[in-house]
């Protein structure tokens, strides 16, 4: 159902530059051309009655309630479908209009249950409101005729109910599914009186193609589509605008509340990243915040084989501080470190890296971007001069040709995918470069012009082949390169990429992609208008991840596709604050704002502000920490909001390293897999319990607002601050806004950022400074951050992870729509209804060769380890390639992945692991051991809780 806490203008906003002036009910109104009379009236404070119109979808003109009178026009035009024109004189009220509207309402109400007092939408029902607005006092037709009031509810979706008895067939849900989400799962079934909303071909919502984004629910004017949380709890009384804690799209939501209790999350219409849209995770999967598994008391223990003991924050922090100090005394200053998280706010990440640099006095800080987008930081800094994407999301609406490489946005970044699909339906061309047939390759009203279905691990080869065609067929934008780029580097790249060994024909045996298809794709991208490249972890998580990012930048530069709307290099960040955690100085070689620790001026700036000496040498990356732990020179680690045991590759190696530590501190909302190896557990707070900011994939800084108090009593930044204080460092912030003020003082790209400005503007895309006081939607417009755009040759080097007779298949990993990352949040929601286990997808030919049928348990063996998953036989895979997700710890997906990593950043090569699959009947040895260990650790937790 719609939200009563947000104004509905009835029809979408017009962005036309020209304006028109008309008169509505005697008032002179000026609006952008193309604005409907309904919207113009609404903006002027006149609410024309309506039912089938809502401002998230195009007008439809079916309910006949919004009729108006216009001087000089015959009849009663619908105000939703009639655009404003200069000089119109419109009346929204007259006796005749009142009569017509009352007649319409009589018909609607004659086939509608009159259970308003016990209806979930009581007080928030547009039908009820309209009955009141038109002054409905009787229904001349009675209620006894043929009607739908006994229709059965569809309760199949875990989050919302479909009650056809309350449907007025306004089609708002159907249009929302088409226009906003782009799934086309809903339709109107039947004709005339029999017309009803239907999911798919008369299926239940759960069995249909519905992706549970909630757009239909949001659009519904009655109780037909209602959130179950509203049915259970009742209507919210206030709302707080905040930012989603899931993927890198960073959707704005209004948390609709009753006191401190969340009733529902509704995507904010004015959110600049999502424009009022959402996905199943952000919209519905927030129940984890109050899940019984939350650990809300600090705990300590001497050994991981000991039971936990609940203690106060002061005791736990003293315990940790003493351990860290003692380790440094014994093993040296560089023997401890910290890991920040992209699931935490900018302010939390900033104070965490400050703790490491100012209190631990070293640079041993790293972040989970190490295992996802660290190559983006490296590659884009090297070529463009800034470790960030170049556009805002809205830019895609000006793209003519879109390359999606190594990304599956309909699953990983669904809200942006909906916007991209809208542009594709308008006619933009699409090139997909992916080993799998992702949904974008072919879905309703969308078909990629070219799907370059390459072999895993050959991104650089395909990028070089595309570059070869552009360089050798005269498709290079010479004038752009002459004026914007480092010409010497371009010539070097052109010579390199023009070599015969980089031609599509020469590389066809490597990539498996027909050369002719590559040539066509290259020509389309170079000559098809505004060309934009979107990429994800399918690019970065390779031994040549950084090389591929550089290759993407080379293509964009060569075709002149950076520096304006509709183009650009666009990394789709996996987690909500990957960009922000990197911006805040989480890497061991960089201070906030991507300034290398070797730069004395930057060190002095921070050193003076923090009253310490900043070390000039880079610290340890996460995998280096593991190595150093194994050799005995690294003995203490503070992990905030990350689950490295589940998310990092080669689980056995990670665990072995953690077992060597003398003090592992984990700060998290759950006793996650890493916490099972910890000595100190500090309870964290969910995004609903904190103030701060997240920075999404388009560099957009958005406020996170506390809607309920932290369950543990302290926000994460306060916990870190207490650790710093206990270790003897005076860290004394009173509010996260003071942390952001410090970031702004010390970081040029953030100089203009403040909570006050965020409040005024809603969100800000950095750089935000004197030159760009309201932020920067498009970067590198006149020149690149580094001055001239730099080309860098990208030699293709085959991965060392080779297929052999023993390991003949390549396994690649990814995520699914309903689950998020290690699943700690989504596994504790009803999203498990869609995905309750990780499965291994295998092509029918490979399955048949091994006697595997759908649903069989199969052992997956790699050079690193073995695990067992159920098989999903699917033609989405190409023969020779298998695929799995990593959302469940018991799956052990990372037991199989290896230590191979990107040459520049050590980002793991998750996307290429040589494996063999065999049919089995029991779990792997690792899984059996894991089960025993996890049960023991959960028992330790329960014992501690029982004692407290």
Partner 1 sequence: MHIENLVYMINQIESFYRSDPEQAVAVEGIRNHVRRFWEPRMRKAIIAHLETGGAGLGELSAMAVKLLAEEAAAVA
Binding site for partner 1 (CB under 8 A): 334, 364, 492, 496, 543-544, 546-547, 588-589, 596, 598, 617-621, 624, 627-628, 630-631, 633, 793-795, 797, 899, 903-906
Min dist CB 624 to partner 1, Å, is 6
**Shorter beta-carbon distance to partner 1: residue 7 or 596:** 596
Min dist CB 797 to partner 1, Å, is 5
Min dist CB 886 to partner 1, Å, is 23
Min dist CB 347 to partner 1, Å, is 27
Min dist CB 814 to partner 1, Å, is 24
**Shorter beta-carbon distance to partner 1: residue 105 or 661:** 661
Q: Distance between CA atoms of 431 and 677, rounded to whole angstroms?
A: 45
**Shorter beta-carbon distance to partner 1: residue 691 or 909:** 909
Min dist CB 473 to partner 1, Å, is 22
**Do the beta carbons of residue 664 and residue 643 sit within 8 Å?**
no
Kind plus residue range of the DSSP H or E element containing 568: strand 568-571
Q: Distance between CA atoms of 733 and 714, rounded to whole angstroms?
A: 13
> CA angle 216-244-665, nearest 5°?
145
Min dist CB 769 to partner 1, Å, is 26
**Shorter beta-carbon distance to partner 1: residue 223 or 657:** 657
Q: Distance between CA atoms of 738 and 609, rounded to whole angstroms?
A: 14
- How would you write 309-320 as a 3-class SS string? EECCHHHHHHHH
Min dist CB 406 to partner 1, Å, is 19
**Shorter beta-carbon distance to partner 1: residue 374 or 399:** 374
Min dist CB 631 to partner 1, Å, is 6
Q: Distance between CA atoms of 532 and 553, rounded to whole angstroms?
A: 11
List, in order, residues 6 or more apart from 91 with CB less than 8 Å away.
25, 68, 69, 70, 97
Min dist CB 332 to partner 1, Å, is 10
Structure tokens at 228: 């179950």
Min dist CB 799 to partner 1, Å, is 10
Q: Distance between CA atoms of 362 and 259, rounded to whole angstroms?
A: 44
Residue with tokens 């805040």, as numbered in its chain: 584
Structure tokens at 616: 């000039």
Q: Pseudo-torsion of CA 126, 127, 133, 139, nearest 10°?
A: 180
What phi-psi label fits residue 271: left (phi over 0), alpha (psi between -120 and 50 degrees) or beta?
beta
- How would you write 688-719 as a 3-class SS string? HHCCEEEECCCCEEEEECCCCCCCCCCCHHHH
**Do the beta carbons of residue 711 and residue 702 sit within 8 Å?**
no
**Shorter beta-carbon distance to partner 1: residue 491 or 759:** 491
**Shorter beta-carbon distance to partner 1: residue 425 or 499:** 499
What values do phi and psi take at 13, rounded to 5? -70, 145
**Do the beta carbons of residue 251 and residue 415 sit within 8 Å?**
yes
**Shorter beta-carbon distance to partner 1: residue 85 or 617:** 617
In this structure, are strands 238-243 and 252-258 parallel, antiparallel, or unpaired? Answer: antiparallel
**Shorter beta-carbon distance to partner 1: residue 210 or 548:** 548
- Adjacent-strand bridge partners of 860: 867, 917
In this structure, are strands 365-367 and 336-340 parallel, antiparallel, or unpaired? Answer: parallel
Min dist CB 908 to partner 1, Å, is 13
737-752 burial: b if 16+ Cβ within 10 Å, else e: bebbbbbbebbebbbb
**Shorter beta-carbon distance to partner 1: residue 589 or 863:** 589
**Do the beta carbons of residue 214 and residue 245 sit within 8 Å?**
no
In this structure, are strands 160-162 and 27-32 parallel, antiparallel, or unpaired? Answer: unpaired
Min dist CB 253 to partner 1, Å, is 38
List, in order, residues 6 or more apart from 589 with CB less than 8 Å away.
363, 596, 597, 618, 619
Q: Distance between CA atoms of 697 and 550, rounded to whole angstroms?
A: 18
**Shorter beta-carbon distance to partner 1: residue 496 or 755:** 496
**Shorter beta-carbon distance to partner 1: residue 121 or 544:** 544
**Do the beta carbons of residue 884 and residue 838 sit within 8 Å?**
yes
Q: Pseudo-torsion of CA 573, 575, 581, 582, nearest 10°?
A: -20
**Do the beta carbons of residue 452 and residue 518 sit within 8 Å?**
yes
**Shorter beta-carbon distance to partner 1: residue 300 or 614:** 614
List, in order, residues 6 or more apart from 95 with CB less than 8 Å away.
none
What values do phi and psi take at 852, rounded to 5? -100, 135
**Do the beta carbons of residue 705 and residue 689 sit within 8 Å?**
no
**Shorter beta-carbon distance to partner 1: residue 496 or 888:** 496
Min dist CB 365 to partner 1, Å, is 12
**Shorter beta-carbon distance to partner 1: residue 617 or 875:** 617
Min dist CB 482 to partner 1, Å, is 23
**Shorter beta-carbon distance to partner 1: residue 78 or 460:** 460
Min dist CB 594 to partner 1, Å, is 12
**Do the beta carbons of residue 944 and residue 685 sit within 8 Å?**
no
**Shorter beta-carbon distance to partner 1: residue 903 or 933:** 903
Q: Distance between CA atoms of 218 and 225, rounded to whole angstroms?
A: 8
Min dist CB 356 to partner 1, Å, is 13
Q: Where are the beta strands (DSSP E) in 365-413?
A: 365-367, 401-405
Min dist CB 733 to partner 1, Å, is 29
Sign of the C-alpha dihedral, residues 912, 913, 919, 922? negative
* Residue 833, Cβ density class (10 Å: 0-12 exposed, 13-18 middle, ≥19 buried): middle
**Do the beta carbons of residue 454 and residue 513 sit within 8 Å?**
yes
**Shorter beta-carbon distance to partner 1: residue 479 or 631:** 631
């Amino acid at each position: 159902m719609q939200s009563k806490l947000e104004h509905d203008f009835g029809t979408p906003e017009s962005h036309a530059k020209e304006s028109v002036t008309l008169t509505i009910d005697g008032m002179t109104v000026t609006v952008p051309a193309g604005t409907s009379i309904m919207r113009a009236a609404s903006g002027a404070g006149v609410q024309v009655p309506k039912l089938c119109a809502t401002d998230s979808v195009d007008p439809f003109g079916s309910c006949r309630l919004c009729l108006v009178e216009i001087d000089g026009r015959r009849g009663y035009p619908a105000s939703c479908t009639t655009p404003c024109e200069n000089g119109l004189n419109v009346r929204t009220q007259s006796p005749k209009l009142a009569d017509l509207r009352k007649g319409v309402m009589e018909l609607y109400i004659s086939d509608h249950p009159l259970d308003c007092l016990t209806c979930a939408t009581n007080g928030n029902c547009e039908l009820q409101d309209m009955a009141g607005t038109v002054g409905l006092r009787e229904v001349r037709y009675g209620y006894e005729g043929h009607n739908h009031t006994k229709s059965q509810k569809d309760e199949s979706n875990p989050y919302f109910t479909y009650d056809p008895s309350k449907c007025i067939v306004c089609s708002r849900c159907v249009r929302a599914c088409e226009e906003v989400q782009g799934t086309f799962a809903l339709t109107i079934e039947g004709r005339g009186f029999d017309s009803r909303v239907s999911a798919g071909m008369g299926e239940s919502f759960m069995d249909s193609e519905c992706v549970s984004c909630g757009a239909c629910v949001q659009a519904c004017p009655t109780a037909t589509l209602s959130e179950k949380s509203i049915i259970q709890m009742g209507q919210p009384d206030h709302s707080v605008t905040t930012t989603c804690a899931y993927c890198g799209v960073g959707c704005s939501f209004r948390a609709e509340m009753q006191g401190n209790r969340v009733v529902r999350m509704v995507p904010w219409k004015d959110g600049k990243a999502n424009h009022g849209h959402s996905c199943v995770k952000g919209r519905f999967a927030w129940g984890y915040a109050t899940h019984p598994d939350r650990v809300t008391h600090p705990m300590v223990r001497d050994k991981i084989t000991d039971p936990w003991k609940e203690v106060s924050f002061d005791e736990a922090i003293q315990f940790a501080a003493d351990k860290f100090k003692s380790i440094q005394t014994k093993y040296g200053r560089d023997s401890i470190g910290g890991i920040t998280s992209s699931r935490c706010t900018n302010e939390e990440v900033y104070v965490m890296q400050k703790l490491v640099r100012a209190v631990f006095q070293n640079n041993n800080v790293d972040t989970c971007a190490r295992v996802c987008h660290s190559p983006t930081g490296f590659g884009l800094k090297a070529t463009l001069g800034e470790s960030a994407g170049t556009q805002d999301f809205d830019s895609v609406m000006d793209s003519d040709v879109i390359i999606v490489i190594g990304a599956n946005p309909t699953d990983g970044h669904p809200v942006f995918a909906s916007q991209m699909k809208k542009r594709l339906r308008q006619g933009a061309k699409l090139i997909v470069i992916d080993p799998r047939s992702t949904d974008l390759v072919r879905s309703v009203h969308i078909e990629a012009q070219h799907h370059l279905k390459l072999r895993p691990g050959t991104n650089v080869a395909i990028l070089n082949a595309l570059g070869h065609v552009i360089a050798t067929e005269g498709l290079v934008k010479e004038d752009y390169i002459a004026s914007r780029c480092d010409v010497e580097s371009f010539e070097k790249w052109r010579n390199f990429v023009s070599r015969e060994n980089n031609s599509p024909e020469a590389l066809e045996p490597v990539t498996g992609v027909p050369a002719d298809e590559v040539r066509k794709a290259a020509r389309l991208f170079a000559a098809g208008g505004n060309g934009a490249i979107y990429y994800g972890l399918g690019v970065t998580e390779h031994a040549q991840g950084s090389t591929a990012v550089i290759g993407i930048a080379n293509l964009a530069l060569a075709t002149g596709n950076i520096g304006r709307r509709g183009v650009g290099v666009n990394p789709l960040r996996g987690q909500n604050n990957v960009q922000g955690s990197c911006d805040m100085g989480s890497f061991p070689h960089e201070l906030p704002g991507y300034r290398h620790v070797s730069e004395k001026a930057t060190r002095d700036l921070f050193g003076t502000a923090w009253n310490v000496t900043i070390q000039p040498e880079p610290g340890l990356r996460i995998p280096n920490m593991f190595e150093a732990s194994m050799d005995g020179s690294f003995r203490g680690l503070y992990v905030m909001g990350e689950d490295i045991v589940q998310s990092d590759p080669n689980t056995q190696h990670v665990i072995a390293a953690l077992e060597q530590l003398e003090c592992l501190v984990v700060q998290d909302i759950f006793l996650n897999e890493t916490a099972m190896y910890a000595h100190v557990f500090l309870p964290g707070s969910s995004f609903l319990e904190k103030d701060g900011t997240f920075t999404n994939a388009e560099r957009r800084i958005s406020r996170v607002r506390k809607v309920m108090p932290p369950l543990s009593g302290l926000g994460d930044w306060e916990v870190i601050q207490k650790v710093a204080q206990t270790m003897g460092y005076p860290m004394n912030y009173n509010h996260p806004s003071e942390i952001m003020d410090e970031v702004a003082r010390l970081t040029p790209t953030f100089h203009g950022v403040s909570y006050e400005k965020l409040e005024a503007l809603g969100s800000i895309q950095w750089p935000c400074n004197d030159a760009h006081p309201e932020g920067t939607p498009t970067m590198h417009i006149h020149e690149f951050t580094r001055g001239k755009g730099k080309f860098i040759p990208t030699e293709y080097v085959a991965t060392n992870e080779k297929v052999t007779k023993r390991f003949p298949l390549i396994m690649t990993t990814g995520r699914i729509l309903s689950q998020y990352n290690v699943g700690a949040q989504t596994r504790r929601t009803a999203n498990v209804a869609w995905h309750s286990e990780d499965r291994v997808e295998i092509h029918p030919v490979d399955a048949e060769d091994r006697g595997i049928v759908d649903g069989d348990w199969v052992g997956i063996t790699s050079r690193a380890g073995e695990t067992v998953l159920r098989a999903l036989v699917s033609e989405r895979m190409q023969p020779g390639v298998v695929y799995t997700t990593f959302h469940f710890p018991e799956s052990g997906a990372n037991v199989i992945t290896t230590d191979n990593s990107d040459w520049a950043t050590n980002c793991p090569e998750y996307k290429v692991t040589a494996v063999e699959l065999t049919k089995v009947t029991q779990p792997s040895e690792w899984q059996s051991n894991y089960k025993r260990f996890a049960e023991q650790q959960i028992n330790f937790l329960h014992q501690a809780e029982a004692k407290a």
